[in-house]
Chain A
Amino acid sequence: MDAPAGNGLTRRDFAKTAAAAAAVPLLTSLGACAAPGAAPPAPAPDAGGAAPAAGGAGSDARANAVADALTEVVRDRYGERLDAAQLETVRGSIRSNLGTARRLREFPLPISTEPVLGIPVPPPTAS
């Protein structure tokens, strides 16, 4: 599965980059693919990701609070098998995922846009 077809970050590195950028409101155009200085390549998605924007300590604090809460869910369910360092790593991944989610939420879509779980582009019909 997981290896980017380009100059890539791991999926989690990408998410960390997106988290850093999405902790505050994006000022660039939504969906912009201007790549930041990407971390070294790794076997998952390339970044092509969010450009950093101006600061917002409040948003960062809220995101961290959500990450803490979700980490607590993980600890509650699986904590007996995760040591403190592992749990901290998991928290980092959760925080990164929240950044990715933020980036997605800030991309506007018409309300009528439905999820695509099948073939995205229909094949040509046979003539």
Chain B
Amino acid sequence: MIPTEVLYLSVRELAGRIRSGALDPVELAEAYMARLEELGPRLGALVVVTRERAMKEARAARDEIRAGRYRGPLHGVPYGAKDLIAAAGYPTTWGAEPYREQRFDHDAAVIERLTQAGAVLVAKLASVELAGGMGYEQANASFTGPGRTPWNPEYWSGGSSSGSGAAVAAGLVPFALGTETWGSIVTPAAFSGVTGLRPSYGRVSRYGAMSLCWTMDKIGPLCRTADDCGLVLAAIAGHDARDHNSANAPYSYTLAKPARRWRIGVLRGATEGTQPAVRDNFLASLDVLRQGAELVEDVRLPEYPYNAAASMIIEAEAASIFEELIDSGRIHELTAPEDRIGGYAGQVVFARDYLKAVRVRGPAATALDQLFAEQRLDALAHPTRGTVAYPVGKKFSEAYPDVKGGGEPIGGAANLVGLPGIALPNGFGENGLPTSLSLTGRAWQENKLLEIGSAYQQRTDWHTRRPPNFG
């Protein structure tokens, strides 16, 4: 029987043991699937264990590795996929009751690539219904129930990749795929205390994944370490003709020793309106970063209506994507009451308003790129979230009424123009819940974020912590 502490190892650590024969991919897959079945429902993390597929892939991996045909660091490593991502042979439910029995006869591009890398799909993981696009206001917004962070299951695991965050945090899978239109990889990474990477828009093919917003959707990994995120990104990145916004930009995961100290911009007002622990942990993180970087304080973003543009784009594109769901009335089958009516306002957005938003995108993207170039910044640092996770059972707006927020609109800006970001656990706050540091990077510079993130994790141990009561 594989000890529980092995199930908390990083992908890289598991890979070494798999390659050497110390770990059998079949036994490893069985161990994770048992843990998923036992603990996944408690965390609202699981849609389905993909047992038959997993056993087939695990046996193939074992046989190939024994025959000397090693595919790379993901060979034989189990993983879970957010249930917006199609995998042949299993339902792809989008977290939504109307699609509970939906099946596709093909794999999404990211699943194809992970299969090619020899990874083993063990589960489809819970998602907020329709990736949160109908405007959910509390955690119970999926037919699988609220996602719960294993650090304190009375609190939300974050969304919309709620199952992916919880599953990695609780050692149910070594890595998972999530998606982000605006916040849905980094938020569950923050609230679940794991590392999440949002790639540049266009870096990873969207083929086979549910669209919420064609021009803002990204797919990326949630892992235990930044290094693992690099390993997974290397497998899933790359041009795909089936996604017409897929970049022809080859990616390889290499950590170069920097020729100079990094320059990291600290956003103006980064801790404005945050919880005290978020502020304190962020400042402590800056002290760690300072060991390898020059910090540039008080960085302001160029002035654009980022949030307004991003909001308008999502509202209009989602309205089109889900028009059949809305017109048919099946939207009223969604779990969260506010989601049942959340799609109607988007049906009456004026075209000129949507077009204004997508016109803002171009100059905003250029201005942000120039900010990085002119100030020679490798990353922008800011807290991932201003608070720890919200309690399950309360409206988000009522969770922390004293926390007012503030600072630069980095979330809207980054997602409007497709900048990469990484969320790194950096401590704990109220009720034993994790806090998180984010680094936002220049477009196409994921490796810089992974380098800085890896260096941060060499100097800290937050990413190695395990939630109490989950082994």
- Partner-B contacts on A (CB < 8 A): 1-15, 18, 29-33, 35, 37-49, 70, 73-74, 77-78, 81-82, 86, 89-90, 93-94, 96-97, 100-101, 103-105, 107, 109, 113-121, 123-124, 126
Contacts and interface: CB of A to CB of B under 8 A. Distances in A.
Contact of B131 (A2, A48, A96): A2
What 7 A-B pairs have minimum CB-CB distances, sorted nearest first? A48-B409, A7-B405, A7-B386, A3-B183, A1-B181, A5-B411, A123-B249
Contacts of A11: 135, 182, 311, 314-315
A45 B182 contact: yes
A59 B216 CA distance: 32
A120 B160 CA distance: 24
Given A3-B158, A43-B132, A104 B305 contact: yes
A117 to B, nearest CB: 6
B311 A14 contact: yes
A49 B307 contact: yes
Which of A8, A43, A107 has most B Cβ within 10 Å? A43
B345 A46 contact: no
Interface stretch (B256-264, B290-298, B392-400): B392-400
B49 interface: no
A120 B418 contact: yes
A10 B135 contact: yes
Interface residues of B toward A: which range?
Answer: 35 or more
Nearest to B188: A3
A10 B181 CA distance: 14
A12 B306 CA distance: 15
B347 interface: yes
Majority DSSP secondary structure for residues of A touching B: loop
B468 interface: no
B182 A113 contact: no
B195 to A, nearest CB: 14
Nearest to B348: A70
Contacts of B396: 10, 40-43
B341 A90 contact: yes
Contact of A121 (B341, B397, B399, B418): B418
Contacts of A9: 405
Contact of A119 (B201, B212, B364, B411): B201
A90 B408 CA distance: 29
A40 B358 contact: no
B103 interface: no
Contacts of B315: 11, 97
A108 to B, nearest CB: 11
A114 B355 CA distance: 9
B397 A6 contact: no
Nearest to B337: A86
Interface string B336-366: 0010011011111110010111111111111
A47 B307 contact: yes
A3 B269 CA distance: 20
B183 A5 contact: yes
B23 interface: no
Nearest to A106: B305
Contact of B405 (A41, A81, A93, A123): A41
Nearest to A123: B249
Nearest to B245: A118
B421 interface: yes
30 contacts: A1-B160, A2-B128, A3-B159, A3-B182, A4-B182, A4-B187, A5-B182, A5-B411, A6-B386, A7-B386, A7-B405, A14-B311, A37-B404, A38-B273, A39-B397, A40-B401, A41-B387, A43-B183, A45-B311, A49-B305, A104-B357, A107-B356, A115-B362, A116-B359, A117-B358, A120-B201, A120-B362, A121-B366, A123-B202, A123-B248
